[in-house]
Structure 1
Amino acid sequence: MVSATAEQAGGFVSGKLSDLPAVTYHGRDAGPYFTSAICLAKEPDSGVPNLSFRRSMQVSDTELRVRLGGTHDLTRYQKKAEERGEALEAALLLSCPPEIFLSACASLSYEASELVMAEQIKGEKIPMRRCETIDLEVPASADIVDEGRCLPHIKRPEGPFGEFMGNYVEVGDNHVLEITHVSYRPDAVLHGLVCGSPEDLRPLEAVTAARVYRHVAAQVPGVIDVCCRPNRMISIVKIRKAYEGHVQHVFLSALESYLDYNKVVIVVDENVDIYDLDDVMWAYLTRRRAMILNDIPGFYRDPKKDHWGRLCIDATMPWGREAEFARKSIPGQDDINLADWLTQEG
């Protein structure tokens, strides 16, 4: 990162939250939300900055209520600060350029900084400007910045809200971000994100697949590719099967790769297109061996344990019986050019 020039850091005006558009996205939402807010905070000991998306309910000009997931790095930051009796300083970045948006989607190790990843995506250093009321630097390219402090030992009701799974997350006690300053460019356009839309899901699916692939490929041989469509709760893993029990090793590794999300793991052979759900379902229907794992915690937004449990599906050909499960083919099919037969002469 580099310090922003006067020109890069200039042009901002001070204001308040109520200056910004207040968008209530769904019928039962508790009120307006920032859905594309990227939270920037520093690890209390190392000072490493972290970027992550945080839905934030607008309560007043001085208060947002923010959902923190139990397994997230930001939650660990907040707990460390809280144990010291301190507030965690944080800035919410809105209307950011693609390199910041994509980096905030990523799932990196605790010691890594998403800002470094943003620089790698952009191919150059990210200009940073200092906040007015907290000890943080933020990307000068963020058009709207809400500065604040995540208060220790204070939680207040947040929700309901229509989340990306298509249903409502009910009211829960969540963290309070006390807003200390708001700045924005006069021509800023608020980026509103509809949770569960393709704009929301596609980046999340891509970064989840990358995380699962890195983890599983490091432990288990023969991993070719991973896809997390049509929902990041599902991981479809393509392997080059090498031994009996290979699939079970993939199951174990994939399930531990992302404790929040992998509710379903499907393993397929190398001749199945994991980006074609019809092909995956064909493999499932013709080769399926399912294993249900009950009473395993799933997504952290499940306080009543309604959705505990995991499903693992072995959609590969049984070891040693591949010929019995071969996909049918039509001799010469690939040599036929339909245009030769459908073109009319005269």
Structure 2
Amino acid sequence: MPYDGLRDFVSTLERAGELKRVRAAVSAELEITQVVDRICKANGPALLFENVRDSSMPLLINAFGSYRRMAMALGVESIDSIGREIEEILQTPMPTGIVDKLKMIPKIARFAKFPPKAVSSGPCQEVVMEKPSLSALPILKCWPQDGGKFITLPMVFTKSLETGRRNCGMYRMHVYDDQTTGMHWHIHHDGARHFREHKNAGKRMEVAVALGSDPAVTYSATAPMPADVDEMLLAGFLRNKPVEMVTCKTINMEVPADAEIVLEGYVDPHEERIEGPFGDHTGYYSLADTYPVFHVQCITHRKDPIYPATIVGKPPMEDCYMGKATERIFLPLIRTQIPELVDMNLPLFGVFHNYAFVSIDKRYPYQAKKVMHAIWGLGQMMFTKIIIIVDKNVNVQDVDEVLWRVGNNVDPRRDITIVDGPLDVLDHASPLPRAGSKIGIDATKKWPEEGHTREWPDEITMADDIIELVNRRWREYGLE
């Protein structure tokens, strides 16, 4: 069942023992970050800070910060079940007769429920601030060298000037004062594309920011959806119910009706300002740079709103589990483009754009190199700095096994591919911003057709009958 907004999710977490309330007075400047960082590193619970100094709003954080809570957020026992459902739909053969067509009806009906639904009012507009001020929100300064306070879990809604289609993305917002923030749109993001359209036309860009909603809606803002595909459609699929959307009070933009807080405003196409630095998910500070400026014109919110936040830093942190959800949910879609792909692991320490471990069903020479280049050609996977390809029998979720294969199966001159291309803007090691080199490592078994004319040795394994014998006699050995 979908959640009736963020507070319903909070209640569910608390009943499940996955949330703790912190009633002691705490500061939004650095103190909360230090508390939450310890909790994240200890695989601890979600936290609801009920007494944040200088704000009447409680602050929710680390709500997505475990595999269990991430699954709970999306209403499933396991995130993999979502991927399996998508795979089942994608693999459905085209119907050839009336019986097959009738069997397709339930799946078609499942998709028919997804589009967002317009409503005339919503809880997010129960209160309209007379004098909108960001100072009412318990916004965090996360790390000592941060350029200021940052809104860290926003759902940013924009529309294309050319098509009118909506996008919802998650971009940090550097708070400059009570009415203005930075808008950290990376050049590759759809929000940045919408901004360029408005800038080229010399038109002010309307922007709405929603804070707190059904967790499936919040997650969808982070998902790497294709351009011009509404993230609210994905949210509807995940929650098995349309997302109710209400029009903002002062701009022509729709936001989730169940949101806790909504910021309405605009971005001037000719205005930029220094944004950052910011302690980022790489574990390093992202450097200050110029970005567009968001002006807040109106703030609406629920009665007694909850302010949602997250912190990022050296992994593992809360965002890691959102990233792993994306890995599992979108894996079937990647397989439609790379059918030989068996499994993929974007390890937490790789912060989702530094490493990808990929297993393939190898059927022809140099297929691993083909897969590397295919991955670099897939949307945001183009940022992957290090790709390791292994055979289908390798468990890519086991980092030790992957690295064992690399050490044994790789001849550096033959099996390493280095290419130049786009990199994530947060990559500080590249000589140029947003561009540099990437490496692919073929750790598959090599064939004679790939130039390996020597005999390839078998792996050491025990005979099946001996394994069965030892399993049967294990208690006799007195080793338990």
TM-score exceeds 0.5 = yes
CA distance in 1 between partners of 2:246 and 2:309 (Å): 24
CA distance in 1 between partners of 2:382 and 2:271 (Å): 25
Match of 2:3 in 1: none
Match of 2:13 in 1: none
Distance change (3 Å), C-alpha of 1:22 and 1:5 = same
Match of 2:370 in 1: 249
Match of 1:298 in 2: 423
**Deviation digits for residues 202-229 of structure 1, max 9, x if unmatched?**
22244256557634x3444422122211
Deviates more, 1:268-277 or 1:258-267: 258-267
Gaps of 5+ in 2: 1-115
Match of 1:274 in 2: 396
The one-letter amino acid paired with 2:358 is: V
The answer as to whether partners of 1:39 and 1:52 remain within 8 angstroms in 2 is yes
CA distance in 1 between partners of 2:468 and 2:146 (Å): 53
Deviation at 1:335, TM superposition (A): 4.7
- TM-score, normalisation: structure 1: 0.91
CA distance in 2 between partners of 1:7 and 1:136 (Å): 14
Match of 1:17 in 2: 134
Deviates more, 1:189-198 or 1:4-13: 4-13
CA distance in 2 between partners of 1:97 and 1:9 (Å): 12
Distance change (3 Å), C-alpha of 1:135 and 1:279 = same
The answer as to whether partners of 2:124 and 2:261 remain within 8 angstroms in 1 is no
The equivalences for 1:302-317 within 5 A come to 302=427, 305=432, 308-317=436-445
CA distance in 2 between partners of 1:323 and 1:334 (Å): 30
CA distance in 2 between partners of 1:136 and 1:53 (Å): 16
Deviates more, 1:34-43 or 1:197-206: 197-206
CA distance in 2 between partners of 1:212 and 1:308 (Å): 26
The equivalences for 1:183-198 within 5 A come to 183-196=300-313, 197-198=316-317
Deviation at 1:293, TM superposition (A): 2.0
CA distance in 2 between partners of 1:282 and 1:243 (Å): 23
Deviates more, 1:321-330 or 1:42-51: 321-330
The equivalences for 1:313-332 within 5 A come to 313-320=441-448, 324-331=456-463, 332=466
SS at the partner of 1:174? strand
Higher share in helix: 2
- TM-score, normalisation: structure 2: 0.67
**Deviation digits for residues 22-68 of structure 1, max 9, x if unmatched?**
21100100111011111111122222211111100111111001111
CA distance in 2 between partners of 1:36 and 1:144 (Å): 12
Deviation at 1:148, TM superposition (A): 1.4
**Deviation digits for residues 111-150 of structure 1, max 9, x if unmatched?**
2110111111111121112211111110012101111112
The one-letter amino acid paired with 1:207 is: T
SS at the partner of 2:383? coil
Deviation at 1:236, TM superposition (A): 1.4
SS at the partner of 1:70? coil
CA distance in 2 between partners of 1:90 and 1:212 (Å): 31
Match of 1:152 in 2: 269
The answer as to whether partners of 1:37 and 1:92 remain within 8 angstroms in 2 is yes
1:53 and 2:170 correspond: yes
The answer as to whether partners of 1:33 and 1:56 remain within 8 angstroms in 2 is yes
CA distance in 2 between partners of 1:71 and 1:150 (Å): 18
CA distance in 2 between partners of 1:209 and 1:122 (Å): 17
Distance change (3 Å), C-alpha of 1:107 and 1:279 = same
1:238 and 2:359 correspond: yes
Deviation at 1:251, TM superposition (A): 1.1
Distance change (3 Å), C-alpha of 1:194 and 1:163 = same
Identity rate, percent: 24
- Over the aligned positions, Cα root-mean-square deviation in angstroms equals 2.4
